[in-house]
Amino acid sequence: MFSVRKITLCGSTRFKKAFGEWNARLTLEGYVVYSVAMWSHGGRIDPTPEQKELLDQVHLKKILNSEGIFVLDVGGYIGESTRREINYATAIGREVKYLSKEFPTWTEDDCRYFRSEEQLAKLVGLDCLHVGENLQFLWPNTPDEVVTRSLDNTEGPDRTKKLETIVDLVVQRNRKK
């Protein structure tokens, strides 16, 4: 796809699954991939204006250190920050490729490597539902009881640890059957 080996992913952070998926796909093809540092749109993190400016400057440095950019314009969406990154990459002579042109029918439902917590739950046989900011995982414990575990609005390693604990509980339950 690219004639270069070091690539920076660009696009709206609301497309967290796309970033995860294409980071994995390109890395597995042997590319060195730079990506975003925070999910300010796709997560529940609101950086301060100073942090947003710093994150934008660091991302431009990633583009400077790469040989090309891959624009994750899911559904053709390109926001103001992404447009600025495209213009910068073009101005400094970097190769620019667009998801919408390279893979015009791709959607986040096509992810093979990056799965949402809901998709992971389904893989291990759990039902899940959103209750406010919490993600509830449900599974039958006995014919009359349903066990519920929640992932609250924590982020990062703590959220991952909670998800791993829930998956471990399901695996243990399945072994007892």
Q: What is the pLDDT of residue 71?
A: 98
Per the structure block, which two tokens stand in for 173?
């339950």
Under a CB-based contact definition with an 8 Å cutoff, are residues 40 and 47 in contact?
yes
pLDDT surpassing 90 at residue 164: no
pLDDT tens, position by position, 13-52? 888 889 989 999 999 999 999 999 887 654 556 788 898 8
Predicted local distance difference test score (pLDDT) of residue 173: 62
User: What integer pLDDT is reported at residue 1 of this predicted model?
Assistant: 77
What average pLDDT does the segment 85-100 reach? 97
CATH topology (fold) of 6-110: Rossmann fold (3.40.50)
Q: Which residues pair with 137 in a beta bridge?
A: 128, 149
Q: For the chain, give every domain's residue range.
A: 6-110, 117-176
The C-alpha atoms of residue 143 and residue 34 are separated, in whole angstroms, by 49
Pairing of strands 6-10, 32-34: parallel
Least confident of 74-88, 110-124, 138-152: 138-152
Q: 165 or 141: which carries more pLDDT confidence?
A: 165
**What pLDDT shows up at residue 48?**
86
Among candidate residues 159, 171, 12, 156, the one with its CA nearest the CA of residue 84: 12
Q: What angle do CA 134, 139, 141 make, to 5 degrees?
A: 130
Distant-in-sequence, close-in-space partners of 50: CB < 8 Å, separation ≥ 6: none
Q: What is the pTM of this model?
A: 0.69
